[in-house]
């Protein structure tokens, strides 16, 4: 599918929002990807996972897929399922802000791993997962995201693939032009009902 068709699908399921939003990073943007609205529809998510798995496979062998909890758990599982025989794990946030493996999850030294995330904006969550993978002795061979809104080179030398790449602006909270215009700020992940 063309990028525009993928974007249309995000809009149809309510996963692409326009307005004034606070991102998880604390930055503000006029665009928000609430991909829980995509992952709640497994029959739609399957197409996204298949495309992401196809791109990861082209980068070389992978024996495990790791996602950050929460947003990367379902995408990592779905991508691993498409890759057949690849394990799906997730890393969780520690009290100090780092990510670590719990629940008996372990990686082998030298094991090739793909890190899968729902949306990559600054790459900070992915970087924390990469650190956890490397601390376990494994090797990150690729990062894959359903939506990539990073600037080029945000993850250094690790290849980043995505289903769609979107150039959506974001600003530090103290330099947000939407705040200057008194547009109400929304935190979509806090919403109790679809908005």
Residue 15 contacts residue 38 (beta carbons within 8 Å): yes
Summarised one tens digit per residue, pLDDT across range 98-131 is: 999 999 999 999 999 999 999 988 788 999 999 9
In this structure, the strands spanning 87-93 and 64-68 are parallel
Residue where the block lists tokens 């992940």: 189
Summarised one tens digit per residue, pLDDT across range 39-71 is: 999 999 999 999 999 999 999 999 999 999 989
Q: What is the pLDDT of residue 61?
A: 93
Average pLDDT, stretch 73-91?
96
Cα(125)–Cα(38) distance, integer angstroms? 20
The token pair that represents 141 in the structure block: 């061979």
Q: Where are the alpha helices (DSSP H) in the chain?
A: 3-12, 36-39, 42-58, 73-83, 124-135, 177-180
Cα(90)–Cα(85) distance, integer angstroms? 17
All structural domains of the chain, each given as residue ranges with its CATH number in brackets, are 48-170 (3.40.50.2020)
Q: Record the pTM.
A: 0.89
The number of C-alpha atoms within 13 Å of 188 and in the hemisphere containing its C-beta is: 22
């Amino acid at each position: 599918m063309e990028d525009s068709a993928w974007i249309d699908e995000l809009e149809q399921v309510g996963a692409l929002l326009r307005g004034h939003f606070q991102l998880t990073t604390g930055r503000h943007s006029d665009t928000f990807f609430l991909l829980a609205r995509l992952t709640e529809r497994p029959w739609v998510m399957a197409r996204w996972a298949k495309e992401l798995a196809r791109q990861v496979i082209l980068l070389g062998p992978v024996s495990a897929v790791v996602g950050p909890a929460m947003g990367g758990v379902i995408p990592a599982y779905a991508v691993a399922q498409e890759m057949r025989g690849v394990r799906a794990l997730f890393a969780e946030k520690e009290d100090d802000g780092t990510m670590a493996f719990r629940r008996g999850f372990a990686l082998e030294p030298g094991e090739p791993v793909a890190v899968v995330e729902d949306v990559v904006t600054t790459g900070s969550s992915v970087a924390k997962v990469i650190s956890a993978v490397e601390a376990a002795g494994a090797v990150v061979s690729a990062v894959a995201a359903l939506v990539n809104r990073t600037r080029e080179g945000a993850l250094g030398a690790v290849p980043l693939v995505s289903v769609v790449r979107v150039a959506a602006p974001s600003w530090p909270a103290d330099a947000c032009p939407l705040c200057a215009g008194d547009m109400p700020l929304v935190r979509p992940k806090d919403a109790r009902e679809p908005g």
